[in-house]
Structure 1
Amino acid sequence: MAGGKAVRFSTPVKPPTKPSKGKALATDSSKTDASSHESGLPLARYTSIVGTQSLLLAFTALFLPRSTTSLLGSDFLPPPSSSLDRPQHPFLEPITASPVLTLVWLCLGVGVVISWSSGYMRVWVKGETSSRAGNQEDVKSSSLATGKSKAIMDSYKATALSIPIFHLFIVLFGAPLTSHIPQTLLLSTLLSLLTFYPSTYALGLPSLTSTSSAAQAERLQYVRLFSELFTRTHVERALVFPVIGTVVGCWLGAFVLPLDWDRPWQAWPLVPAYGSIFGYVVGSLVSVTFSSVKSLADLDKAK
């Protein structure tokens, strides 16, 4: 105090500090990485692939089994043994006459279509992985070129090894144990082509014996995707949703088999086989819809 008056000291008010360029660049780069991480799947191209794949699978399910009559003649098929009082539509006769031949056609057609579409999924998965490593096109092209033949062989091995696993589960869910063995094996083959081949070809076959960090990360990725059903990117949804649709469609198709309608199309395992193909198509369409809506929502938030 001086002269009986109190002296007040005013503290200077500092102007608001602007974020440094380094922090701004880090924030922008993190947003760019997040957007590129989520946009690893080209939605326009993926939509066209799903549309073409759905049409090819529909042709495989409805018209390819009818090739038996055109190649071998109608006399080759056995005569109908059920629903003689109510004859079925002539379009269904080549499909229901011999379930074994129908399943053979379905496996052949589905194998070709899935092999074609899985090639695009592998390109998108590798592109997403290379973008995380630095977004270099040479990294993506080199990884695709060097591991393509090995990835195909590994996928076919995984598909073949999964057939007895599916056969066991189908029997546990009520399929005949000692009869209709070829039909059950063919249904297991169809399910393996729709579920195991696309995922193992796109993601790679994880090592079960290696203790390296990369091998553990691959195993954890499979557990997260196909056990926990937890997806993070559009590419992962494109792999997981069709698998869910395949399993659910096959399971729902088995509900009509115990009904005493005595219809030819109720022969084992026609309805579960067609249900699995229909479920795969529905799962792919749900994946396209979900990813498109999420991309539009992300764009709206960015604005």
Structure 2
Amino acid sequence: MAVARGLLGLPVGALVMAFGAIVLGAPVGIRYLKRTAYWSLLMSVFTFVPPACVFGSSRVDWHRIFAHFKPEESLDALVCLPAYGSVIGAWIGAWPMPLDWERPWQEWPICVTYGAVAGYWIGGLASSVFILIHGPVHVKED
């Protein structure tokens, strides 16, 4: 059941991420369409798929974790901290893009992708620290 929820969350999250990227200034055009699609799928894997697998369509859990940032147990931290890290990392990775250096690594979405991966990694480390402090993960049965 969790795999089916994750597979459903992947395209939904990709659409949300692609829309958000375009609204925030990602280039729009045929040349950039495939790049934006790949980046949004990567971000969906980092941000939407894990909570979709764990929480499903529970609006209360999604709201508690992402709107209020109140992880109640270690599983919540395993889901939300890497997701927050990837979004913050992507945001920080976008900073050098508008600079007029015209370097190949400034192309969309290279900086943003490296930032997202680094942020996800840091979020994973932060969730490990959270687990060390608050105790082990207790998995809920469906």
Q: Which TM-score band (shorter chain)?
A: 0.7 to 0.9
Amino acid at match of 2:18: H
Asked if the contact 2:46/2:120 (under 8 Å) is kept, the reply is yes
Describe the superposition over 1:22-42 as per-residue Cα deviations: whole angstroms up to 9, x where unpaired: xxxxxxxxxxxxxxxxxxxxx
Partner of 1:170: 21
SS at match of 2:94: helix
1:250 aligns with 2:102: no
Partner of 1:262: 102
User: What is the CA–CA distance in structure 2 between the aligned matches of 1:256 and 1:277, rounded to whole Å?
Assistant: 16
Question: What value does the CA root-mean-square deviation take over the aligned residues?
Answer: 1.4
User: What is the CA–CA distance in structure 1 between the aligned matches of 2:133 and 2:53, rounded to whole Å?
Assistant: 27
Describe the superposition over 1:178-223 as per-residue Cα deviations: whole angstroms up to 9, x where unpaired: 34111111110100011111111122x21xxxxxxxxxxx321111
State how 1:40-119 maps to structure 2 within 5 Å: none
The number of residue pairs the alignment matches comes to 134
Partner of 2:38: 186
Amino acid at match of 1:243: A
Residue from 147, 160, 176 that aligns with 2:11: 160
User: What is the CA–CA distance in structure 2 between the aligned matches of 1:241 and 1:221, rounded to whole Å?
Assistant: 14
Partner of 1:200: 52
Instruction: Give the drift of 1:294.
Output: 4.2
Partner of 1:272: 112
Moved over 3 A (4+): none
Partner of 2:65: 225
User: What is the CA–CA distance in structure 2 between the aligned matches of 1:234 and 1:161, rounded to whole Å?
Assistant: 26
SS at match of 2:65: helix
TM-score where L is the length of structure 1: 0.42
Instruction: Give the drift of 1:151.
Output: 2.2
User: What is the CA–CA distance in structure 1 between the aligned matches of 2:100 and 2:28, rounded to whole Å?
Assistant: 21
Instruction: Give the drift of 1:247.
Output: 0.4
TM-score where L is the length of structure 2: 0.87
Asked if the contact 2:73/2:134 (under 8 Å) is kept, the reply is no
State which structure, 1 or 2, has the greater radius of gyration over its C-alpha atoms. Answer: 1
User: What is the CA–CA distance in structure 2 between the aligned matches of 1:233 and 1:223, rounded to whole Å?
Assistant: 15
Instruction: Give the drift of 1:158.
Output: 1.5
Asked if the contact 2:27/2:108 (under 8 Å) is kept, the reply is no
Partner of 2:138: none
User: What is the CA–CA distance in structure 2 between the aligned matches of 1:154 and 1:241, rounded to whole Å?
Assistant: 20
Instruction: Give the drift of 1:259.
Output: 0.9
Partner of 1:237: 77
Relative contact order, CA 8 A, sep 6+: which one is greater? 2
Instruction: Give the drift of 1:157.
Output: 1.3
Amino acid at match of 2:49: Y
User: What is the CA–CA distance in structure 1 between the aligned matches of 2:68 and 2:28, rounded to whole Å?
Assistant: 30
List gaps (5 residues or longer) in structure 2: 136-142
Amino acid at match of 2:104: P
Instruction: Give the drift of 1:256.
Output: 0.5
Partner of 1:111: none
Describe the superposition over 1:224-247 as per-residue Cα deviations: whole angstroms up to 9, x where unpaired: 011211111111111110010010
